Structure 1
Amino acid sequence: MTSRVLFVSSALSGSPRQARFDDGGSLDEGGAARARAAAGALPSAAARVLVSPSARCTETAAALGLDGAPAPELAGLDVGRWRGRSLDEVGAAEPEAVGRWLTDPGCAPHGGESVQDLCGRVARWLADARAVEGRTLAVVEPEVVRAAVVAALDMSAGAFWRLDVPPLTVTELSGRAGRWNLRLGRPLSTPGAG
């Protein structure tokens, strides 16, 4: 049995453009337009479609023409009291805390979830996903894609920050025989584009 999970990273909202921790805001018009333009580029057959609960992911899925089930276990990283604040703002107020957070995956100075906890949560979801026959398509936050790659390749959570996940890209995991293979970062392009 082969399982496939295609993670589609969300389109942009204002938060990432402003180096701001996600504030739960909607897609900006540019991100929504890019998602609508990419709607025909996704593989057509999926056994199930899942969507991270953020507004950005829900709106990306809708713009892509997907009707997916909410997947709270694939929620983005909970950054606690830093939510909605800019990295510059938090860095100026709490430079040591930000430094620890970026270098120690087990650290959660914001009172939310650590990177290590996120990676563990996504790894548990992947273990369950391996038992699903066919293709799962999941529209998720970029940090969920990072955590999935860390888990699939059995990497240290310290590698998390070294993985870049552009918006509206597909990262595919195919699993069989107790392991995952990785195909990363295929951009969703508009139909007919070369």
Structure 2
Amino acid sequence: MTSRVLLVSPASGESLRQARFDDGGPLDAGGAARARAAAGSLPAVARVLVSPGVRCRQTAAALGFDPTPVPGLAGLDAGRWTGRTLAEVGAAEPDSVGRWLTDPGCAPHGGESVRELCARVARQLADLGRMDGRTLAVVEPEVVRAAVVEALGLPDTAFWRLDVPPLTATELSGRSGRWNLRLGRPLGAPDGD
């Protein structure tokens, strides 16, 4: 059985442009328009899932989907940093931010560490790997990063080295334990299959 998981990053919003830890902010007008324009450009899928985050749900809706929310696909829990910008936190807690960016097991914000996020996403990916057909999931960029770390067996220190632009698709195909990766196709671009 071969599974295909298409991870779609959400369209842009003010929080993304400000490098703000997810504050539940919505898509901006331009991001919503780009998502609506990309509707219909995705391949047929067996199921559509979504992170519970506002931007992900709004992106899925703009793409024309009525997905199933999956709490295990939520973005990183940034604890007390939620809603603040990276610049604000860096100015107030430079040592904490430095540790957070270099030690995947560190969670100075009191939320979830990168290592914990990667483990959570790995469990979700294993579940998806047991499903036949293609799954589309609209998820936060950090969930895409964690999935790539798991799929390729990368060390969790590689997490911050992966960039995930807004409204792009990253596809994993294969099965749990043996994934192939197709990176960052902008939505609206030809699929190639």
Same fold (TM over 0.5): yes
Contact 2:51 2:70 in 1 (8 A): yes
What does residue range 42-61 of structure 1 map to in structure 2 within 5 Å?
42-43=42-43, 45-61=44-60
Identity of aligned residues (%): 77
Structure 2 residue runs of 5 or longer lacking an equivalent are: none
In 2: Cα distance, 1:178 partner to 1:118 partner: 18
User: Over residues 114-154 of structure 1, what are the superposed CA-to-partner deviations in whole Å (9 max), with x where a residue is unaligned?
Assistant: 00000000001111111100000000000000000000001
User: Over residues 151-188 of structure 1, what are the superposed CA-to-partner deviations in whole Å (9 max), with x where a residue is unaligned?
Assistant: 00011110000000001100000014840000010000
What does residue range 1-194 of structure 1 map to in structure 2 within 5 Å?
1-43=1-43, 45-176=44-175, 178-189=177-188
Contact 1:40 1:190 in 2 (8 A): no
Contact 2:126 2:176 in 1 (8 A): no
Contact 2:3 2:128 in 1 (8 A): yes
Shift of 1:189: 1.9
Partner letter of residue 56 of structure 2? Answer: C
Count of equivalent residues:
190
Structure 1 residue runs of 5 or longer lacking an equivalent are: none
Structural RMSD (CA): 1.2
Q: 1:90 to 1:178 in 2, by over 3 A?
A: closer
Q: 1:100 to 1:41 in 2, by over 3 A?
A: same
Contact 1:37 1:190 in 2 (8 A): no
Shift of 1:20: 1.2
Contact 1:175 1:181 in 2 (8 A): yes
User: Over residues 84-132 of structure 1, what are the superposed CA-to-partner deviations in whole Å (9 max), with x where a residue is unaligned?
Assistant: 1011110010000000000000000000000000000000111111110
SS of the residue corresponding to residue 41 of structure 1 reads: coil
TM-score (ref. length: structure 1): 0.95
Dislocated runs of 4+, deviation >3 Å: none
Partner letter of residue 112 of structure 1? Answer: G
